[in-house]
Structure 1
Amino acid sequence: MLNEDKDQNELEEDDDEGREFKTIPISEAVRLQKLERDRRNKEFHEKLDKLKEKTAKLKKEYEEKYKKK
Protein backbone atom coordinates (compact mmCIF):
# COMPACT_ATOMS: atom_id res chain seq x y z
CA MET A 1 0.00 0.00 0.00
CA LEU A 2 2.74 2.44 0.95
CA ASN A 3 4.68 1.60 -2.20
CA GLU A 4 1.62 2.45 -4.29
CA ASP A 5 1.34 5.83 -2.55
CA LYS A 6 5.02 6.54 -3.14
CA ASP A 7 4.69 5.58 -6.80
CA GLN A 8 1.70 7.87 -7.20
CA ASN A 9 3.57 10.76 -5.55
CA GLU A 10 6.57 10.21 -7.82
CA LEU A 11 4.32 10.25 -10.88
CA GLU A 12 2.74 13.52 -9.77
CA GLU A 13 6.16 15.08 -9.20
CA ASP A 14 7.33 13.94 -12.63
CA ASP A 15 4.30 15.59 -14.22
CA ASP A 16 5.27 18.97 -12.77
CA GLU A 17 8.90 18.87 -13.90
CA GLY A 18 8.22 19.72 -17.54
CA ARG A 19 5.65 22.41 -16.89
CA GLU A 20 6.24 26.11 -16.69
CA PHE A 21 4.11 27.95 -14.20
CA LYS A 22 2.86 31.41 -14.96
CA THR A 23 3.40 33.83 -12.11
CA ILE A 24 1.38 36.98 -11.59
CA PRO A 25 1.85 39.88 -9.21
CA ILE A 26 0.07 39.66 -5.87
CA SER A 27 -1.99 42.74 -6.70
CA GLU A 28 -3.30 41.01 -9.83
CA ALA A 29 -4.12 37.86 -7.85
CA VAL A 30 -6.02 39.92 -5.28
CA ARG A 31 -7.91 41.72 -8.05
CA LEU A 32 -8.89 38.40 -9.64
CA GLN A 33 -10.02 37.02 -6.28
CA LYS A 34 -12.14 40.12 -5.66
CA LEU A 35 -13.75 39.81 -9.10
CA GLU A 36 -14.57 36.15 -8.46
CA ARG A 37 -15.92 36.97 -4.98
CA ASP A 38 -18.08 39.78 -6.37
CA ARG A 39 -19.42 37.48 -9.10
CA ARG A 40 -20.35 34.80 -6.55
CA ASN A 41 -21.93 37.40 -4.24
CA LYS A 42 -24.02 38.75 -7.11
CA GLU A 43 -25.22 35.24 -8.01
CA PHE A 44 -26.02 34.55 -4.36
CA HIS A 45 -28.04 37.73 -3.95
CA GLU A 46 -29.94 37.09 -7.18
CA LYS A 47 -30.92 33.63 -5.92
CA LEU A 48 -31.75 35.05 -2.49
CA ASP A 49 -34.03 37.69 -4.02
CA LYS A 50 -35.86 35.02 -6.03
CA LEU A 51 -36.34 32.93 -2.90
CA LYS A 52 -37.61 35.94 -0.95
CA GLU A 53 -40.14 36.68 -3.70
CA LYS A 54 -41.26 33.06 -3.77
CA THR A 55 -41.55 32.97 0.04
CA ALA A 56 -43.62 36.15 0.10
CA LYS A 57 -45.91 34.75 -2.59
CA LEU A 58 -46.37 31.48 -0.70
CA LYS A 59 -47.04 33.29 2.59
CA LYS A 60 -49.66 35.42 0.89
CA GLU A 61 -51.34 32.36 -0.64
CA TYR A 62 -51.26 30.56 2.71
CA GLU A 63 -52.76 33.51 4.59
CA GLU A 64 -55.50 33.95 1.99
CA LYS A 65 -56.35 30.26 2.05
CA TYR A 66 -56.49 29.82 5.83
CA LYS A 67 -57.82 33.22 6.89
CA LYS A 68 -60.99 32.65 4.88
CA LYS A 69 -61.93 29.63 7.02
Structure 2
Amino acid sequence: MRMLTGILGTSRVDLHIRSTTTGASRHYRYAHAYEQGVVDARVWGGIHTRTADEVGNATGRRLAAWALRRYFRPVR
Protein backbone atom coordinates (compact mmCIF):
# COMPACT_ATOMS: atom_id res chain seq x y z
CA MET A 1 0.00 0.00 0.00
CA ARG A 2 2.91 2.36 0.72
CA MET A 3 4.19 1.92 -2.85
CA LEU A 4 0.75 2.69 -4.25
CA THR A 5 0.23 5.78 -2.11
CA GLY A 6 3.76 6.96 -2.85
CA ILE A 7 3.25 6.68 -6.60
CA LEU A 8 -0.23 8.21 -6.51
CA GLY A 9 0.78 10.95 -4.08
CA THR A 10 -2.20 10.45 -1.77
CA SER A 11 -3.26 8.11 1.01
CA ARG A 12 -6.84 8.22 -0.21
CA VAL A 13 -7.75 5.09 -2.14
CA ASP A 14 -11.06 3.74 -3.36
CA LEU A 15 -10.44 0.03 -3.02
CA HIS A 16 -13.18 -2.60 -3.20
CA ILE A 17 -12.19 -6.20 -2.46
CA ARG A 18 -14.61 -9.10 -2.89
CA SER A 19 -14.00 -12.70 -1.89
CA THR A 20 -14.91 -15.17 -4.61
CA THR A 21 -15.05 -17.87 -1.94
CA THR A 22 -17.40 -16.29 0.61
CA GLY A 23 -18.91 -13.43 -1.36
CA ALA A 24 -17.95 -11.02 1.43
CA SER A 25 -16.70 -7.63 0.34
CA ARG A 26 -14.72 -4.80 1.90
CA HIS A 27 -14.36 -1.18 0.90
CA TYR A 28 -11.44 0.99 1.95
CA ARG A 29 -11.25 4.74 1.42
CA TYR A 30 -7.78 5.26 2.95
CA ALA A 31 -4.56 3.25 2.87
CA HIS A 32 -4.26 3.10 6.65
CA ALA A 33 -7.72 1.48 6.91
CA TYR A 34 -6.66 -1.22 4.44
CA GLU A 35 -3.41 -1.84 6.31
CA GLN A 36 -5.31 -2.15 9.59
CA GLY A 37 -7.80 -4.50 7.97
CA VAL A 38 -4.99 -6.77 6.80
CA VAL A 39 -3.43 -6.85 10.27
CA ASP A 40 -6.81 -7.54 11.89
CA ALA A 41 -7.65 -10.35 9.44
CA ARG A 42 -4.34 -12.11 10.05
CA VAL A 43 -4.70 -11.81 13.83
CA TRP A 44 -8.34 -12.91 13.86
CA GLY A 45 -7.48 -15.77 11.50
CA GLY A 46 -4.86 -16.99 13.95
CA ILE A 47 -2.02 -16.61 11.46
CA HIS A 48 0.17 -14.23 13.52
CA THR A 49 0.20 -12.13 16.63
CA ARG A 50 -0.77 -8.48 16.36
CA THR A 51 2.77 -7.40 17.28
CA ALA A 52 4.29 -9.54 14.52
CA ASP A 53 1.89 -8.14 11.93
CA GLU A 54 2.37 -4.53 13.01
CA VAL A 55 6.16 -4.91 12.92
CA GLY A 56 5.91 -6.57 9.50
CA ASN A 57 3.66 -3.78 8.25
CA ALA A 58 6.08 -1.10 9.49
CA THR A 59 8.98 -2.95 7.85
CA GLY A 60 7.07 -3.08 4.57
CA ARG A 61 6.36 0.66 4.73
CA ARG A 62 10.08 1.41 5.29
CA LEU A 63 11.10 -0.87 2.42
CA ALA A 64 8.55 0.73 0.09
CA ALA A 65 9.71 4.23 1.08
CA TRP A 66 13.30 3.21 0.31
CA ALA A 67 12.30 1.77 -3.09
CA LEU A 68 10.33 4.91 -3.92
CA ARG A 69 13.35 7.10 -3.13
CA ARG A 70 15.79 4.87 -4.99
CA TYR A 71 13.90 3.61 -8.05
CA PHE A 72 10.88 5.84 -8.58
CA ARG A 73 12.51 9.21 -8.89
CA PRO A 74 10.98 11.93 -11.05
CA VAL A 75 12.22 12.09 -14.62
CA ARG A 76 14.28 15.21 -15.31
Q: Please indicate the TM-score interval, normalised by the length of the shorter structure.
A: 0.3 to 0.5
**Which structure is richer in relative contact order (CA contacts within 8 A, separation 6 or more)?**
2
Larger helix percent: 1
Larger strand percent: 2
Bigger radius of gyration: 1
Alignment TM-score, normalising by the size of structure 1: 0.38
